[in-house]
Structure 1
């Protein structure tokens, strides 16, 4: 097993086909197929299920992929730590949706201008997905609400954030969770830290939400709340940048429960020149 095999395997897993992986790696498809077959023989297990022109990663392949990504990341880190190179190569970043939409676009623009040799690869999703991505090696770093609550994660606070409760303009004033116990709410999936904060806010006031509708975007959530179909908890910075902000009332959470910080996090011991450059740039802009 060598790094080239791991790179080929990771690329096939990401692209879903030998042909697409061959194009990305500038190799012929037969070479890719041979590398995968040799790796499967060495490991004694099938890493992919073959279906016509597509490859579907197996359960064993998914387990091996997390190790392969970590090994490749460590190899790149080791190379950069001894070579004194400037930031370069692929820098995989994750971010929760609101931070990606509002906070980091100017940061990424400045980073690209300062380090054009770095290929920024940004993915967004709920905080739970971001944390899992860092632990598995899929992301070099991610913007997540902090501080880190996993022993293998480290990071720095970079943005102050406040969550606000939004309701339709004709809704009665809201001062506490008891005021809206049993109300319909809109939120992201269960692995979203903001949704857990909302549910905890209800619980601390011995109240309970009613039906929870899971949405995929803040714009969809805002539209439903504006129509009077329910309530939601969203970042104040996100609301401020949305065209429909005047269609709702925003209420802060009692006891400053809605105030939090966004951190840039990474797996402990896995810093790189790319990551160090991002941390420095954020510190300068703070």
Structure 2
């Protein structure tokens, strides 16, 4: 099977369009079409349905996509392994949930960069599910996500436990029970956020149905709106400590299992252990020990 044909097929499947794949690969559309037809002839099966709206993978094409992704990744790893020296260098793509990226990683990344300046670090901040997907599809070498994570293709290492607290305006009375927050507006992040899921789980277990919710993009905005009395939220204490010390907000402890939020570092079991990744893992373990 020709690797170039496989790359063209996989890019076309990802883009969902022959014209977009041609732009990505810097090929003529006719060249992309011809290479796909070559691969279909080689395999003896149709890989795409052609229709007025573009193209759609056939069942055979859907099967080949997962194999193509693995094959192309192994080829990239082989090139990287052959060219690797023992000195950490080259790209290191990592992911993290926003709280970890904002509070826990700056010192670690700064120290790592100073020690290994030849490594090109990039950090993607996203929700746990997005990071999981990126790691599983070889887009990231590893990611800091909400744990625990149970997946047969992943290895996880516990990084740190965080305390979660209910956050209100500074003049809000003490919260003795989750029923005290029932009339409050919940200030949350978009669906997929671990803190949002934990807050709703906490309320649902006590039979509480939120009256109203508002969605936001950033922690700074949530903290500012909480401070102004717009509503309440559930956040890691490490994120809101400064605002609490400034007297802008008030933190309320919550009982039981919901008060602990565990962050883990995940990577694929079959990920190539490059010198850059190996050095990062050593620095990470020392940093969080």
Q: TM-score range by the shorter chain?
A: 0.7 to 0.9
Which residue is 1:284 aligned to?
286
Which residue is 2:155 aligned to?
154
1:277 Cα deviation (Å)?
Answer: 2.1
The change in CA–CA distance for 1:210 and 1:138 in structure 2 (over 3 A counts) is: farther
Of stretches 243-252 and 267-276 in structure 1, the one that deviates more from structure 2 is 243-252
Unaligned runs of 5+ in 1: 23-28, 50-55
Computing the radius of gyration from Cα coordinates, the structure with the larger value is 2
The change in CA–CA distance for 1:211 and 1:37 in structure 2 (over 3 A counts) is: farther
Residue 39 of structure 2, aligned match among 29, 36, 42: 42
C-alpha separation between the residues in 2 aligned to 1:75 and 1:265? 22
The Cα RMSD (Å) is 3.7
C-alpha separation between the residues in 2 aligned to 1:31 and 1:165? 56
1:184-195 aligned within 5 A: 184-195=185-196
C-alpha separation between the residues in 2 aligned to 1:136 and 1:21? 19
What TM-score comes out, normalization by structure 1 length?
A: 0.77
- Whether contact under 8 Å (2:135, 2:142) holds in the other structure is yes
Of stretches 232-241 and 215-224 in structure 1, the one that deviates more from structure 2 is 232-241
1:1-286 aligned within 5 A: 21=24, 29-30=26-27, 34=31, 38-39=35-36, 41-42=38-39, 44-45=46-47, 68-80=68-80, 85-86=85-86, 87-240=88-241, 246-255=247-256, 257-273=258-274, 274-286=276-288
The change in CA–CA distance for 1:125 and 1:282 in structure 2 (over 3 A counts) is: same
What TM-score comes out, normalization by structure 2 length?
A: 0.77
Tell me the SS of whatever aligns to 2:247.
helix
Unaligned runs of 5+ in 2: 41-45
